[in-house]
């Protein structure tokens, strides 16, 4: 296995590891002293010494498409520091902070779609996007099509009114690596704006803007925050020309993120390189253990050499993380026993924190949200896999302890006969 690859390309990863330690440090006071972290600036109101100061503030950022610091919703220094973090990670020109990853997705799509437009969506995207399309975009008069995430798949659904291509790489459940450079080349030839959900890579392990994507979206709730104690999203663009459009939608809708959540994200991002690299190494060890289980039919993890997208991962990614899925042939009843028997894996829908989690996606079971079930069923039916899919977030526990836990839960499941 290419463990050097898991650690990332040295030039890029060393830059991030260093830069993330120096963004958002507190400035020195007049007496030459300063705390290390920038304090959380909590304020709904900004005061001005005189009218001239107000006028200067209003003019200072007007041309950049960002809200001038005249009201707390526009964000103060804590927010500016976190915006710089996202721009640094994604190598973007500007970033907008949102109160969740789904809010970031909504903001990006609201900013560039209007009644009568058509949207192409990769069928491997984060399942709640389907809910947003059904409950919000359709009501706005925006048409959309779910497609296999290939040029051929999107080309078949292209319409004269198509405006945006929305993708996610790797995919949300099966971790499919998309050929992003080829998709971008095709989409731009059709005059389409390309957006991607980059929560998996979070800028550190994957940089879609560098591959030509126009807008990258990150759920900072996950690896950026890293401690499962905040909700956060970000929209990052590589075009200065997009800044005003994004700002207008952001401010008009009233999106705002608390200064304390920004502060927590700044704290979390200091250890982002260490956490992602440790989780990535542990995930490979778990993949090794799973290959010994005859009931495991497929492991989905792009850094794993047997994954169908491994070559694309080698070509395009800077590193990996702790996310993996596997399909197996055990029954729903056995799978339930397996999940319930785990001691170190919480049952939950999030990921990217310090703790390990597991999500059972059973396309025929009531405990699986309909959007997740529909997404999994659509992606996996073509591959002929059984309906039992387990998505696992490998956290910072000792990998040996996690593997032992998985093995004891499997032993219990195998004892059950339907």
What count of residues does the chain have?
Answer: 418
Of 123, 126, 261, 336, the catalytic one is 126
Residues 6+ apart with CB under 8 A from 340: none
**Three-class SS of residue 226?**
coil
Of 80, 130, 222, 380, the catalytic one is 222
275 included as an active-site residue: no
Of 73, 267, 285, 412, the catalytic one is 73
**Cα–Cα distance for residue pair 316/313, rounded to 1 Å:** 5
Q: Are 61 and 67 spatial neighbours (Cβ–Cβ below 8 Å)?
A: yes
197 included as an active-site residue: yes
CB atoms within 10 A of CB 233: 27
Burial of 417 (0-12, 13-18, 19+ CB in 10 A): exposed
Q: Smallest Cα–Cα separation from 290: which of 391, 178, 176?
A: 391
Residues 6+ apart with CB under 8 A from 242: 65, 94, 111, 214, 215
Residues 6+ apart with CB under 8 A from 186: 151, 154, 155
Q: Which helix (H) or strand (E) holds 284?
A: helix 272-290
Of 117, 123, 179, 197, the catalytic one is 197
191 included as an active-site residue: no
Show the CA angle centred on residue 349, arms to residues 376 and 154, nearest 5°: 35
Beta 215-218 vs 162-168: how paired, if at all? unpaired
126 included as an active-site residue: yes
**Cα–Cα distance for residue pair 205/276, rounded to 1 Å:** 8
The gap from C-alpha 28 to its chain's centroid, in whole angstroms, comes to 34
Q: Which helix (H) or strand (E) holds 310?
A: helix 310-316
Tokens standing for residue 83: 């915006």
- Could you give the strand order of the β-sheet that contains 345-347, starting from the edge strand earlier in sequence? 296-300, 323-328, 388-393, 356-362, 345-347
Residues acting as catalytic residues: 73, 126, 197, 222
């Amino acid at each position: 296995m290419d463990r050097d690859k898991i650690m990332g390309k040295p030039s890029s990863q060393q830059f991030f590891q260093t830069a993330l330690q120096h963004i958002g440090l507190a400035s020195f006071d007049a007496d030459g002293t300063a705390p290390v972290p920038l304090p959380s600036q909590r304020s709904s109101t900004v005061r001005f010494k005189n009218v001239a100061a107000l006028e200067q503030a209003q003019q200072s950022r007007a041309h950049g498409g960002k809200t001038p610091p005249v009201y707390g919703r526009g964000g103060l220094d804590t927010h500016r520091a976190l915006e710089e973090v996202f721009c640094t990670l994604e190598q973007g020109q500007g970033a907008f902070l949102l109160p969740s990853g789904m809010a970031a997705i909504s903001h990006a799509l609201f900013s560039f779609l209007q009644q009568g437009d058509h949207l192409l969506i990769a069928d491997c995207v984060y399942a709640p996007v389907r809910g947003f399309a059904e409950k919000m975009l359709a009501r706005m008069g925006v048409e959309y099509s779910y497609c296999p995430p290939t040029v051929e798949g999107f080309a078949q659904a292209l319409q004269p009114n198509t405006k945006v291509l929305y993708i996610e790489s790797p995919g949300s459940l099966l971790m499919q690596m998309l050929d992003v450079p080829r998709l971008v080349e095709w989409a731009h030839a059709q005059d389409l704006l390309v957006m991607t959900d980059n929560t998996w890579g979070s800028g550190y392990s994957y940089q879609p803007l560098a591959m030509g994507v126009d807008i990258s979206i990150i759920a900072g709730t996950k690896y950026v925050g890293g401690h499962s104690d905040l909700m956060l999203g970000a929209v990052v663009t590589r075009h200065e020309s997009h800044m005003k459009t994004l700002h207008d939608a952001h401010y008009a809708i009233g999106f705002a993120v608390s200064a304390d959540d920004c502060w927590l994200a700044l704290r979390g991002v200091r250890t982002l390189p260490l956490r992602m690299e440790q989780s990535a190494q542990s995930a490979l060890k778990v993949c090794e253990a799973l290959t010994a289980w005859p009931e495991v039919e497929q492991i989905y993890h792009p850094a794993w050499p047997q994954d169908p997208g491994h070559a694309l991962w080698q070509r395009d990614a800077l590193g990996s993380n702790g996310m993996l899925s596997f399909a197996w042939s055990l029954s729903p009843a056995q799978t339930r026993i397996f999940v319930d028997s785990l001691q170190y894996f919480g049952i939950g829908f999030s990921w990217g924190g310090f703790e390990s989690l597991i999500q059972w996606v059973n396309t025929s079971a009531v405990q699986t949200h309909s959007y997740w079930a529909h997404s999994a069923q659509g992606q996996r039916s073509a591959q002929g896999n059984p309906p039992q899919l387990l998505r696992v977030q490998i956290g910072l526990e000792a990998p040996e302890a996690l593997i032992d836990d998985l093995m004891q839960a499997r032993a219990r499941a195998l004892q059950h006969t339907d």
